[in-house]
Copies of this chain bind each other. A is one copy, B any other.
């Protein structure tokens, strides 16, 4: 009932809390009380939207799809979104099995032009695959071009990927990516700020980008013209203190001009997944390799604990073997493995998974850690 990124409404929400804000916006005319910065005309718009909102219907709709709605304070809420201040999403609609909070911890955005060149598509796919192979969750916007190539690259490597939509999570937009989005619902995560059946608009695309930037450890721009939406994501990432990266291209290509502009500023030039992983994994990693898990093993839920139990003491193992041993589906197992990766229990190595080698002084990661 509030438009994504509405900072004025974000302030009211912060000051009054959601229950009181809804009460004021739906109260009979004249009894709403004061809302700072509010004129009669403005209030009218908000009241119309509030009157039209049917949260119970929306929650039922997403539940019918196996999805959920999460908001600040929930266990699954990715707290890095709080960096957006009053532009923080009111909540997120989520489809997919994995835990959003844990997946977001080790995520990188790969974004770029819809009308990319074959070179751009190649680079996006190879970054998506390479990052997934290194245990990173690949986040993008499910658009044609670079976004789609990045998601597909991650999926092709049997990896983790998450789409942040500018519409309802029940809407397949663009239509041509319906199958890709459905695959991500099965094997990854599809999230968005808009309630079910919400349609994308130009401003919603732009505002969606701040969620991608805030959610991830860094943003890689693959191909972008001057004034492209991907540069909005990159600048947003910069302002939020996230890593901002760009893939160079020919100086003669208009589709690389925006990236080059970024690289002439604060952006870091990257040419492959290992350079991206090196940068975003550099500091601030919650569970760097060799330091052991950050969560006691006892606090893992039953399925996750079974998945962890399915990993051998030595060597790597395939997702399918983990799934079989844990009595879970392959998609379920993969989601849990990425969560365990965020928590520092396991690592991805090429196509397989293995227990994190904790240093001796920290004890054995498998047995319970810190």
Contact = CB atoms under 8 A, between A and B. Distances in A.
Contacts of A275: 264
A264 B256 contact: no
Residue of A252, A256, A269 with most chain B CB atoms under a 10 A cut-off: A269
Contact of A260 (B122, B250, B260, B269): B269
Contact of A248 (B122, B269, B272): B269
Interface residues of A, number: 20
Contact of A252 (B123, B251, B268, B270): B123
A275 B251 CA distance: 12
Interface string A168-187: 00000000000000000000
A288 interface: no
A122 B123 CA distance: 23
Interface in A251-265: 251-252, 256-257, 260, 263-264
A250 B272 CA distance: 11
A60 B247 CA distance: 55
A91 interface: no
Nearest to A253: B250
Interface string A203-217: 000000000000000
Contacts of A257: 271
Contacts of A250: 119, 248-250
B256 A248 contact: yes
Closest 5 CB pairs of A and B: A248-B248, A251-B271, A263-B269, A264-B269, A260-B271
A268 B272 contact: no
Nearest to A271: B251
A101 to B, nearest CB: 32
Contacts of A123: 251-252
A258 to B, nearest CB: 11
Interface in A121-136: 122-123
Nearest to A260: B271
B251 A263 contact: no
Q: Select the residue from A250, A256, A264, A275 with max chain B CB neighbours within 10 A.
A: A250
A235 B23 CA distance: 66
Nearest to A127: B251
Nearest to A249: B250
A234 B260 CA distance: 20
Contacts of A251: 123, 247-249, 270-272
A119 B250 CA distance: 8
A249 B253 CA distance: 10
A174 B236 CA distance: 51
Given A248-B251, A260-B271, A269-B269, 10 more contacts: A119-B250, A123-B252, A247-B251, A248-B249, A248-B250, A248-B269, A249-B249, A251-B271, A264-B270, A264-B275
B263 A122 contact: no
